[in-house]
Amino acid sequence: MKNQPQQVSVTRELGESKAAVNVIATISHEIRTPLHAIMGLAELVKDEIISDTAKRHIEKILVASEALLQTLNTSIDAARVDREGLYIDQSPFDLLPVMENASKMFALNAESKGVSLNLHFDPRLLNSRYLGDPARLLQIISNLLGNAVKFTEAGDISLWVALRRETSRERQIYFAVEDSGIGIPKEYLERITQQYSQVQSAQAGRPKGSGLGLFITKKLIALMGSDLKIESSARGSRFSFTLSLPIDSSQAADPPQLVSGTLVRVISKPSVACELLQTQLKGLGAHVDYSEKLNVEHLRHLPDLTFVDFEVAIDQPELWQSLRVQTPEHKLVLLCSELDTRVPTLQAQYIGWFAPHLPSDLLQYCGSAGLLAGNNSRSHTFEQERVRTRRRKQSMCIFCVDDSPTNLIVLKGALNKLGFSDLQQAVNGVKAVEYVQAGNEIDLIFMDFNMPVMNGAVAAREIRKIHSDIPIIGLTALSDQEIGEHMQEGDFDLVLTKPASAQQIDDAINQVLRNRYSSVTPTEQAQ
């Protein structure tokens, strides 16, 4: 009997914990639904014919929404970690977009403090795909970068992604976030990864965080088979880990290279960003001509591509205007600052490259200047697959099922953007089953999970009874734990977590089609 009050207390705590998790899960879904709509619609508008300035503003809407989503994910994980545990998915993904998305989230905040945020991405890793969990990796890097920006008032922040070693099946990749911030006292190094733990002295004058980011980050890295290493001093901190990622050989491609003999001129004051740009160009095979200032000789001998920092252009306006007039289209790139009001005074007829200066942008500028050697962005095998997929898109009918009108608009807009035109829709599971029962031709179904009348898993099950060969891709804002409680194995060919980008939707379609048609010969696929 003596233990009864303690047992009651423990039971009450467990019940309260479970209730808190359920509340957070419900709120999560309520937030994710409009957030998915915001991100999806912004993604669609970004590709419309609008000004460059408007495109940058829309990009910032997407970045801010992604940052909100990562904060939401961390909060949910913290609430569930004891009850359900965390999970890691395995799916094919490109490493570069994950690292670039994380950089974009914090670049503007860093720039507003006069801090340079730089992505050092090993060129040997370009055009490679891996098997892993891109959403979790984005969450990890976002937490680390967020802390770095928060506690760095001057200097630089660097995100390093480098190849350590490789085999025919996997690559060992090193990730690090390094800052020149205030550092962490030695006695706090072990404590800061504990739940709700913060260095109070470091919070002075800053909004207090939840103390959950590093706690969740360390657990996620451990689930991926690695350890979070923390090094800190008065000169700054470095958070690093190494992952062994299996290679997705189905879409292998050689790293991009520039045309032999390409000469690129970089004119900028010395900085980490300037050194990084030169390193990236040399990694692509370019000969780099560096100068701190413009001079008359630059006008006499134009290179294949020129990068000029906007501060140099402002300091030497006459030489800049001469260079701008003489340089052919697509051959001049101005390194700009979003926050500096002097940039618009430099006039048009140049490409404005706004921070963060990312590898994918550099490849785009080199491609526009006609400097990429061959078609390095795709292998011959992948090109054949792309042609076959394009032909399928022209004849495929895709059935979209979702109870949210906005989500339907976003999904259909993304599919239109990808080249699909024959799209049908239903607003719940019952309507979807009735549509299939009526004998309508369908090639692929996108099915929302959490719908009234009949949820997506039950609807998929009923459709399987009618046509077992129709590929069904699930869409959900729920966790694996939640959806697993209601879903049977085989209900969906694949499940995408909302919000899903057009690229993720395209990857999912290609993956499902490859799995479905793997027994069909290339000749039959091309027909």
- What domains lie within the chain, and their CATH numbers? 9-83 (1.10.287.130), 86-255 (3.30.565.10), 263-368 (3.40.50.2300), 380-526 (3.40.50.2300)
Classify 85 in phi/psi space as left (phi over 0), alpha (psi -120 to 50) or beta: left
In this prediction, residue 481 carries a pLDDT of: 59
Angle CA(19)–CA(22)–CA(27) in degrees, nearest 5?
Answer: 125
| Residues whose CB falls within 8 Å of the CB of residue 159, separated by 6 or more in sequence, listed in order | 99, 102, 103, 117, 118, 119, 120, 141, 145, 175, 176, 177
| Residues whose CB falls within 8 Å of the CB of residue 300, separated by 6 or more in sequence, listed in order | none
In this prediction, residue 4 carries a pLDDT of: 44
Q: Residue 64 and residue 57: Cα distance in Å, rounded? A: 11
239-253 burial, b at 16+ Cβ within 10 Å, e below that, comes to bbbbbbbebbeebeb
In this prediction, residue 491 carries a pLDDT of: 86
CB 231 within 8 A of CB 180: no
Q: Residue 214 and residue 444: Cα distance in Å, rounded? A: 40
CB 135 within 8 A of CB 501: no
Q: Which two tokens stand for residue 112?
A: 């507003």
In this prediction, residue 23 carries a pLDDT of: 59
In this prediction, residue 49 carries a pLDDT of: 66
CB 442 within 8 A of CB 473: no
Q: Residue 472 and residue 479: Cα distance in Å, rounded? A: 19
* CA distances in angstroms from 311 to 32, 296, 377, 384, listed in the order given: 41, 18, 33, 46
- Alpha helices, DSSP H only, in 81-192? 95-112, 134-150
Residue found by looking up tokens 């997929």 in the block: 389
* Stretch (H or E) spanning 461: helix 456-466
* CA distances in angstroms from 275 to 100, 110, 120, 398, listed in the order given: 18, 19, 10, 48
This prediction's pTM: 0.73
Indicate the residue type of 436. V
In this prediction, residue 510 carries a pLDDT of: 84
| C-beta atoms surrounding 17 within 10 Å | 14
In this prediction, residue 2 carries a pLDDT of: 44
In this prediction, residue 304 carries a pLDDT of: 96
The crossing angle, in degrees rounded to 10, of helices 456-466 and 429-437 is 10
| Residues whose CB falls within 8 Å of the CB of residue 374, separated by 6 or more in sequence, listed in order | none
Residue found by looking up tokens 């993720």 in the block: 504
In this prediction, residue 171 carries a pLDDT of: 96
Chunked into runs of 10 residues, the chain (527 residues) has average pLDDT values of 42 45 61 78 77 81 82 72 72 92 90 92 92 92 92 94 94 96 78 58 47 81 94 90 91 84 96 94 96 94 95 92 91 86 65 90 93 61 51 80 89 88 92 94 92 90 91 81 66 84 85 67 38
Angle CA(110)–CA(139)–CA(254) in degrees, nearest 5?
Answer: 90
Q: How many CA atoms does the CB half-sphere of 353 hold within 13 Å?
A: 23
Indicate the residue type of 347. Q
